[in-house]
Amino acid sequence: MTDASELRARTQEFLAAHPPAGTGRTDFLKARFDAGLAWVHYPPGLGGLGASRTLQAVVDAELEAAGAPDNDPRRIMIGLGMAAPTILAYGTEEQKRRFLRPLWAGEEVWCQLFSEPGAGSDLAALGTRAVRDGDDWVVSGQKVWTSSAHIARWAILIARTDPDAPKHRGITYFICDMTDPGVEVRPLRQITGEAEFNEVFLTGVRIPDAHRIGPVGEGWKVAQTTLMNERVTIGGMRLPREGGMIGLAAATWRERPELRTHEMHQRLLALWVEAEVARLTGERLRQQLAAGQPGPEGSGTKLVFARLNQEISGLELELRGEEGLLYDDWTMRRPEQVDFTGRDIGYRYLRTKGNSIEGGTSEVLLNIVAERVLGLPAEPRTDKDVAWKDLAR
């Protein structure tokens, strides 16, 4: 069983053979993957060593101290946090070996083709169709709110393959090549002035059956792995004390004494405590996840993440007074990574409004926590046994 001292020694040996200063960034990252130091809890040959997830921090600390490059995790967050664990859990051996290495090294960016104009909070109501044609599936439909689609090479996609089945049972999960004919990406401008996400139109896109993940008709089950990992990825990011949004607000408080009032002090203290509790809870959750897949508890961390970000950015806006209202960057940018903290308080205040929507709306996550964590009675669902084609839309 690999322990911390073994991993530390292995990492030092790797650094001696691949000194960061003399190795190209991509070559270094590929070699790190091949050495099993990418994500140590993955199996050997797939970037890992079959070790405990908690030991990844040992490797990361050694590499960071040596000045090694990282894989720009914010840019490839969807691949790392959503596509990779799904492929690992349900993909074929060929899929794992084809996709995981370039995904982790950042050579191929991923996006997520799940939500649709008529199927956001009720994702299982999706209407994008996939029809079997020999060894291929022909996919047509529209997806929306797709972060990084404008730079992505691959997408994780769920589509309806059996309209006669109830909505949760007639879905199949695929890998879609975003460069294929029939894939059209259009920017969606958001309140910040940027267009970090998109709408995607699929018109007769041919996907080989070899790019199907999991059995036909069981895409909802596969998608649950993606969704649970997504919520942990968004709401459970590892942060130091005073990391994230609360650190920015606290820095403003310390650097600008002329802005302080007793009321603002009390509110900041309360939010600081909540942010620290959320950080420690997230750390505990990651330790619980070390031996298995994330469960519904990740919905709780994502809920708290959204609320705290919005309250903290609102407090900082008030703290700065008239200065906080300034926001002069309305450029139509096409950023290559999701940025929750952003450039200035105006941006942060506007961007956090999306935190309670992306990765599952807060209303849906409240239901998940109530039913699957707290064990409260489920809401009545009259449509769960009705064929999708017979549902009102």
Distances (CA, A) of 51 to 37, 178, 330: 10, 34, 46
The mean pLDDT value for 257-280 works out to 91
pLDDT digits (tens, 9 = 90+) for 147-158: 999 999 999 999
Q: What angle do CA 193, 195, 200 make, to 5 degrees?
A: 150
User: In this structure, is residue 305 part of a structural domain?
Assistant: yes
% of residues, the chain, pLDDT over 70? 92
Q: Residue 237: its pLDDT value, please?
A: 65
Q: Active-site residue 255, yes or no?
A: no
Of 134-138, 151-155, 158-162, 280-284, which range is least confident?
280-284
Distance between CA atoms of residues 354 and 342, nearest Å: 13
User: In this structure, is residue 102 part of a structural domain?
Assistant: no
User: In this structure, is residue 182 part of a structural domain?
Assistant: no
Q: Residue 286: its pLDDT value, please?
A: 64
pLDDT digits (tens, 9 = 90+) for 337-388: 776 666 788 888 988 998 888 777 888 888 888 887 888 898 888 887 889 8
Domain boundary among 65, 88, 109: 65
Cβ within 8 Å of residue 242, ≥6 positions away: 250, 272, 275
Task: Please report which helix (H) or strand (E) contains residue 56, including its range.
Answer: helix 56-65
DSSP 8-state code for residue 115: -
Which residues on neighbouring strands pair with residue 187, listed in sequence order? 198
Distance between CA atoms of residues 85 and 144, nearest Å: 23
CATH number for the domain that contains residue 252 = 1.20.140.10
**pTM listed for this prediction:** 0.87
Which residue is catalytic, options 194, 199, 230, 297? Answer: 230
Positive or negative: CA dihedral 94, 100, 103, 105: negative
User: In this structure, is residue 52 part of a structural domain?
Assistant: yes
Cβ within 8 Å of residue 153, ≥6 positions away: 108, 109, 110, 177, 178, 179
The tokens describing 376, both together, are 């409260």
- Domain span at residue 29? 4-65
Q: Residue 194: its pLDDT value, please?
A: 85
Phi, psi of 303 (to 5 degrees): -60, -50
Domain boundary among 65, 90, 115: 65
Number of domains in the chain: 2
Of 94-103, 176-185, 231-240, which range is least confident?
231-240
Q: Residue 96: its pLDDT value, please?
A: 98
Cβ within 8 Å of residue 46, ≥6 positions away: 88, 96, 97, 100
With a cut of 90, say whether residue 325 has pLDDT above it: no
Domain boundary among 47, 65, 83: 65
DSSP 8-state code for residue 334: -
With a cut of 70, say whether residue 131 has pLDDT above it: yes
% of residues, the chain, pLDDT over 90? 58
User: In this structure, is residue 205 part of a structural domain?
Assistant: no
pLDDT digits (tens, 9 = 90+) for 11-27: 999 999 999 999 999 99
Q: Residue 340: its pLDDT value, please?
A: 66
Comparison of pLDDT for 84 and 297, the residue scoring more: 84
pLDDT digits (tens, 9 = 90+) for 46-63: 999 999 888 998 999 999
The tokens describing 270, both together, are 């309360």
User: In this structure, is residue 251 part of a structural domain?
Assistant: yes
Q: Residue 152: its pLDDT value, please?
A: 97
User: In this structure, is residue 123 part of a structural domain?
Assistant: no
With a cut of 90, say whether residue 269 has pLDDT above it: yes
Q: Is 265 helix (H, G, I), strand (E, B) or coil?
A: helix
Q: Residue 373: its pLDDT value, please?
A: 81
With a cut of 70, say whether residue 330 has pLDDT above it: no
Q: Residue 54: its pLDDT value, please?
A: 82
User: In this structure, is residue 238 part of a structural domain?
Assistant: yes
On average, the pLDDT of the chain sits at 89
Distance between CA atoms of residues 260 and 240, nearest Å: 25
